Amino acid sequence: MTTANPRRSTHPHVAVVGATGAVGVEFLQVLEQRNFPLSSIRLLASPRSAGKTMKFRGQDLTVEALTDKSFDGIDIALFSAGGSISKQYGPLAVAAGAIVVDNSSAFRMTAEVPLVVPEVNPEHIGNIGLKPGQKAGIIANPNCSTILMVTAMTALHRAAGIKRLVISTYQAASGAGAQAMEELRQQTQDVLDGKEAKPVIFKQQYAFNLFSHNAPIMGNGYNEEEMKMVKETHKIWGQDSLPEAARTQITATCIRVPIMRAHAESVNATFEKPMTEEAAKALLAKAPGVSIIDDREANRFPMPLDAQHQDDIYVGRIRRDISQPEGKGIDLFLCGDQIRKGAALNAVQIAELLLAK
């Protein structure tokens, strides 16, 4: 590691935008747990949250209102405050010399913005970096469902080429924020008490119910969450410049289930080259960021409660897809913490990549 610009490269000044949200809170925990070598941290949020205090490394930090001047002296800004905040303040942060790691969807599909899962495509960061000669810029954090899936499936894709994916998700409340988690808790208590559930964040009752993901439906009948999985995966796997037919063909059905904070996905993959069950297991066992829970005798496979508050994506039910010729298809089931690897952890890992460059 060079020390040409020691302040920026070894102990950056960090800002967290959206510090009081579910992902913001997790940013602080992940930075602390991973002992991220920062010089200072600035907590930014809406004026409504300004003045609140949050603990970081034993100290009480005061949340500041986000303004145009918030990024003076900041090296890395971790954004998780929604797309419109990112669109407005992301470029300002970059203009102030910061590298933005953005958890919103605002810039994910922008051609010059890398969309990065550190275990998968760290090289996409390119010339963005903290050292002299490297540039400031925006790096986008993919959608949670995409992160979970590509973290697990990339090893298989690289080995045998995934031609087609059929995905069904089981998504937790946390993807819609801390209030959605509280809504699930409150509604569940109300239903158990024989009262009526009162939907606020979601239009339908969430307690003891499930429904198609609340993202808007697009012209093709897919919702935005599903199309993120399609398009973001193509970009992360470097397929966005390929002709349509040469990309991995992906269909997804995204469903919200009454779970607090870890998503699950049922994934069916069709391969270009032969992929056996044994090979898939061996590849997944070595894949970074992946843990296998696959005990057929004990009927023990990944569950949201396994993944909750954990870094890894848990994969199980790994088996030959019997609906396709031997070696052609694999079915599996995965779980991952939506707030952690699906958001905060992945962004902090990107910041760690910047330090290591």
Residues lying near a copy of itself in the complex (CB under 8 A) are found at: 164-166, 168, 170, 184-185, 188-189, 192, 203-205, 208-212, 214, 216-217, 220-223, 230, 249-251, 253, 255, 257-260, 264, 266, 268, 277, 296-301, 303-305, 316-324, 329, 331, 333
216 Cα distance to chain centroid: 20
DSSP state of 223: B
What is the smallest separation between the CB atom of 164 and a copy of itself, expressed in angstroms? 5
Q: Which contacts qualify for 52-55: CB closer than 8 Å, 24 or more apart?
A: 52/20, 54/19, 54/20, 54/25, 54/28, 55/28
Strand order in the sheet with 13-17: 64-65, 40-45, 13-17, 76-79, 99-102, 137-140
What is the smallest separation between the CB atom of 318 and a copy of itself, expressed in angstroms? 7
Considering the complex, state which of residue 48 and residue 300 has its C-beta at the smaller distance from a copy of itself: 300
| Burial group, residue 312, by CB count within 10 angstroms (0-12, 13-18, 19+) | buried
Considering the complex, state which of residue 45 and residue 259 has its C-beta at the smaller distance from a copy of itself: 259
What is the smallest separation between the CB atom of 250 and a copy of itself, expressed in angstroms? 6
Among 213, 254, 263, 335, the active-site one is 263
For residue 215, what are its two tokens? 């993202």
What is the smallest separation between the CB atom of 91 and a copy of itself, expressed in angstroms? 31
Is 309 one of the catalytic residues?
no
What is the smallest separation between the CB atom of 79 and a copy of itself, expressed in angstroms? 27
Distance CA 280, CA 292 (A): 11
DSSP state of 224: H
For residue 108, what are its two tokens? 């994910």
Among 13, 144, 234, 335, the active-site one is 144
Is 263 one of the catalytic residues?
yes
What is the smallest separation between the CB atom of 211 and a copy of itself, expressed in angstroms? 5
* H/E stretch holding 329: strand 329-337
| Burial group, residue 106, by CB count within 10 angstroms (0-12, 13-18, 19+) | buried
Considering the complex, state which of residue 240 and residue 277 has its C-beta at the smaller distance from a copy of itself: 277
b (16+ CB within 10 A) / e for 327-338 = ebbbbbbbbbbb
For residue 345, what are its two tokens? 């952890």
Considering the complex, state which of residue 8 and residue 256 has its C-beta at the smaller distance from a copy of itself: 256
Considering the complex, state which of residue 10 and residue 266 has its C-beta at the smaller distance from a copy of itself: 266
Considering the complex, state which of residue 49 and residue 171 has its C-beta at the smaller distance from a copy of itself: 171
Handedness of CA 87, 254, 181, 341 (dihedral sign): negative
Distance CA 235, CA 260 (A): 29
Considering the complex, state which of residue 103 and residue 248 has its C-beta at the smaller distance from a copy of itself: 248
What is the smallest separation between the CB atom of 348 and a copy of itself, expressed in angstroms? 26
Distance CA 284, CA 267 (A): 14
- Annotated catalytic residues are 144, 263
